[in-house]
Structure 1
């Protein structure tokens, strides 16, 4: 299998929401329909592709209806399609039919069509990066000459542009200097090149890596298509967002929008390069070697080079490109493309982040939670802050509820439901679920009493989560506590708890448990066997920032419900 089938899709690109911070770290299933002279070109079950001619007829001629031979299908990017369209519009065959039809497709739409031997797969593919041609699942492609190039860079709206946010800046500064948007990596080579380069450069910098995962989490749930990115480019400072793009795309935008020009920001450590190779697809229906040869000759001709440069592309990587505000001269060195493993890791992380969650958060309010942490705050204050950090980290499409526990908190029960599970954006009275949970967490410091009925509460919470399981989400129970089970009234033993959890566990309703121990008292040796019974992880937290790292790490490591 190729890299693009590793992570399941979940309709994750339908929700909207602005902003986030870039680099603060699968595929969407869509239907690609192209009308070619009355015929429908469908690449599997994918979508959003379109005929570069803007209509139902094939490029430059009378279409394919009534023609003895179908035109050669050429798949490429939105910025390259008009150039190829203009160059090929006069190539009419002797029978009066067009020779080529140009379509706009994402890399994953094309690779999926090749891998599945789709009957309507293209004969020629001109992506914007050789990254996509390295997919190990592609055995039927031949990469030919590079038609054009363009440096990848960050597009900075005018309202955000300053000496500190344009020119050449280090990745560490770029990740924290301003708000960002980014398109899905499987649909955007600039996103893929930017995120992998940043991740590689930042290495073990914990703050920057947190920023990376945070932004991927937010962007995976936002409307960040290429059109949406440029639509907000002229916004005021509080709403504008920088985004990964290319020199060619920024120049094209600036040409059409002289009053709100974008500035260029490039990483000081090195610039990634978009390369547009001529890729042949073996045995594609309707194509002939002669027609493909003729197209390659046309797209590498002197006339083509003039047209490409006029549209903001470079031919050789070393030549000068269009002049952009803020673009450094000379440019930093060109860096190598990401490896297939790096691209696969990014797509996998994005896919995991895009999966919506259903969480039951259970917080310890026993009397010992008034004890102090190393930072000076009480443990209940740390638990409150931990819950609020988790709440702020996750998207508003998340389903979340809140329980508290100690001993005999609600009659004979050690636990009590404070807020039922609902989507964070669900209206609750005059407010919403997010605000309701925030208030409930703010009230926690005044509720501490009793002992720690951890085992009975864990069993009840897990049972409730399995019973109310949502098959369209990643389901989990998050338990925040400061110590071991301490229930003078008796309650269930650890052995009985583990046996009960294993009995309740349902492979058709997978629910994980994440236990966060506050301070140094919670012993992993006691908590880990509980978590291991059903799947999950145990973490220790000394301060609120530890909790943020825990939530982001949990997103990186979580698995999809099946």
Structure 2
């Protein structure tokens, strides 16, 4: 873990002293005495401002989240002009913008960074980042001072002209948690959670809300997967891209955007002609808290950082931050900046607990696993029983399964690779299976200029059952596993997805024991190829063989008598990607 020290902790007396201000000579003298006595007790000898500087300056490099830079650059300018000293040497604070993720990734080595991220003091937008550093780089010098420079709650922003009354709305109301193909309200966007506190906090908020609302783990996993997929489709690479999307500066309808309250104010400052309005959701929110972090153990630097921290906490600095759309550490705001007319609320929204280190790691893993492109071979049963009508629909099992599978395509990114087989008995000379479409990226085009996604969708809805065909299930499983093993892609999630309406029915064909033996000999933990089976219809009498096949490959088997439920089962199957081995 990173090293923690208590000497910087801010108590209630510090806060009340800051609120009272330091106007007048008596208050100034009292404040100076408090500083001198406190430092003397700690064994630190420092001269205050006004005595001049001797020797070379102590350079204090301060890296701050970009939105803080205007206010803190002014604070540093005044601080330097006042010639604050440590050991009779002037402290010169230099403020630079630094993306919070860049600094965290530079310390941990866990991601790409841009620009110079070294500093003596670090003020990220959220305590999420130093917690991540502490969990991933235990030897890093991360000294938490207990100071929150500013605060800003997460809200849902939308263009004012499209804004709805969201009284009584919760986080799960805003982000879709339904199976693909179902109607949703507006597109919801976040900034990429691997680089954004607001994006990561959105995942955390949803995770907590869905845990409370879900009756069981399977329902939670399915709904969380749907929410993650919805956010994936609307994720912005950075805040500039998010602002562009919110302004309607792209081809999509203006979305809902999860961002901080201060970001909404900052967006409105630059987009007066397309102003946004914040909504405060009823189930609470997470706050960006801008912690003051010291990254050095050098005695002079740590004392210089403490002197600058005192200036950052001054009433004058607080006013500068309020002028920039932030709230103060006690929730105070400037109602002339965050105005009621623009939709801001003077009352601070209820605050939810911050994510733990474990939650941060797990949610980032969830996001990255869904971010990894899939490579899926889908196999559809075209035996004669697929001609049976699904009660109450006027459609055959084949038609319902094809339509549900076509909707399932929406769950995959354009760069995912999908292929399609059909199977029964003797569909391809003496083979019981045949390729309908090769495994290719969904965005790839064929010789006629048709996108592979469209080719697959048309093929799924145009499949024709073989009236006399039986169900050579086991031979098809084996052939599919051999093909996916032969063409395995380590940079993708390699999956076999089987849709069937019956048990294995191929007299004289492969037995289950032989299939299991073959799968065991081919499978490898380092090259996982889970088999996921969705069995539907009243002809499926025994799910146990399918469960054995799933267990042997790290997959899953689902059964329903109603083929119209395939869309929901797709979502459950896809949620396997966010379930860790320990959860299974």
Under a length normalisation based on structure 1, what TM-score does the superposition of the two structures give?
Answer: 0.79
C-alpha contact 2:406 2:460 (8 A) present in aligned 1: yes
* Residue 245 in structure 1 maps to residue 259 in structure 2: yes
Aligned counterparts of 2:58 and 2:514: Cα–Cα separation in 1 = 69
Larger Rg: 2
The residue aligned with 2:579 is 557
The residue aligned with 2:123 is 126
Aligned counterparts of 2:580 and 2:506: Cα–Cα separation in 1 = 32
Q: Sort the Cα spacing of 1:210 and 1:154 in 2 relative to 1 into closer, same or farther, 3 A.
A: farther
C-alpha contact 1:106 1:186 (8 A) present in aligned 2: no
Which of 344, 348, 357 matches 2:361? 344
Q: Sort the Cα spacing of 1:556 and 1:283 in 2 relative to 1 into closer, same or farther, 3 A.
A: same
CA-based RMSD of the aligned residues comes to: 3.2
The residue aligned with 1:86 is 74
Higher helix share: 2
The residue aligned with 2:504 is 485
Between 1:511-520 and 1:372-381, the stretch displaced more is: 372-381
The residue aligned with 1:532 is 551
The residue aligned with 1:10 is none
Which of 98, 105, 124 matches 2:99? 105
Post-superposition shift, 1:454?
A: 0.5
Which of 172, 183, 189 matches 1:181? 189
* Residue 262 in structure 1 maps to residue 276 in structure 2: yes
Q: Sort the Cα spacing of 1:89 and 1:540 in 2 relative to 1 into closer, same or farther, 3 A.
A: farther
Aligned counterparts of 1:252 and 1:278: Cα–Cα separation in 2 = 22
Post-superposition shift, 1:422?
A: 0.5
Q: How does 1:23-38 map to 2 (within 5 A)?
A: none
Under a length normalisation based on structure 2, what TM-score does the superposition of the two structures give?
Answer: 0.76
Post-superposition shift, 1:507?
A: 4.8
Post-superposition shift, 1:378?
A: 3.3
Number of equivalenced pairs: 490
* Residue 323 in structure 1 maps to residue 317 in structure 2: no
Between 1:511-520 and 1:377-386, the stretch displaced more is: 377-386
Q: Sort the Cα spacing of 1:514 and 1:85 in 2 relative to 1 into closer, same or farther, 3 A.
A: same
Aligned counterparts of 2:252 and 2:232: Cα–Cα separation in 1 = 21
C-alpha contact 2:285 2:349 (8 A) present in aligned 1: yes
The residue aligned with 2:396 is 378
The residue aligned with 2:43 is none
Aligned counterparts of 1:433 and 1:545: Cα–Cα separation in 2 = 21
Post-superposition shift, 1:356?
A: 0.6
Post-superposition shift, 1:215?
A: 4.2
Between 1:413-422 and 1:521-530, the stretch displaced more is: 521-530
Post-superposition shift, 1:470?
A: 1.5
The residue aligned with 1:141 is 142
* Residue 214 in structure 1 maps to residue 226 in structure 2: yes
Aligned counterparts of 1:518 and 1:196: Cα–Cα separation in 2 = 35
Post-superposition shift, 1:535?
A: 2.3
Post-superposition shift, 1:194?
A: 2.7
C-alpha contact 1:218 1:395 (8 A) present in aligned 2: no
Aligned counterparts of 2:268 and 2:467: Cα–Cα separation in 1 = 59
Give the secondary structure class of the aligned counterpart of 2:119.
coil
Aligned counterparts of 1:69 and 1:396: Cα–Cα separation in 2 = 55
Post-superposition shift, 1:307?
A: 1.2
Post-superposition shift, 1:257?
A: 1.5
* Residue 309 in structure 1 maps to residue 317 in structure 2: no
Which of 347, 354, 360 matches 2:377? 360
Post-superposition shift, 1:227?
A: 1.2
C-alpha contact 1:123 1:287 (8 A) present in aligned 2: no
Q: How does 1:141-180 map to 2 (within 5 A)?
A: 141-144=142-145, 145-164=147-166, 169-176=169-176, 177-180=185-188
Structure 2 residue ranges without an equivalent (≥5): 3-54, 177-184
Aligned counterparts of 1:516 and 1:416: Cα–Cα separation in 2 = 19
Q: Sort the Cα spacing of 1:209 and 1:79 in 2 relative to 1 into closer, same or farther, 3 A.
A: farther
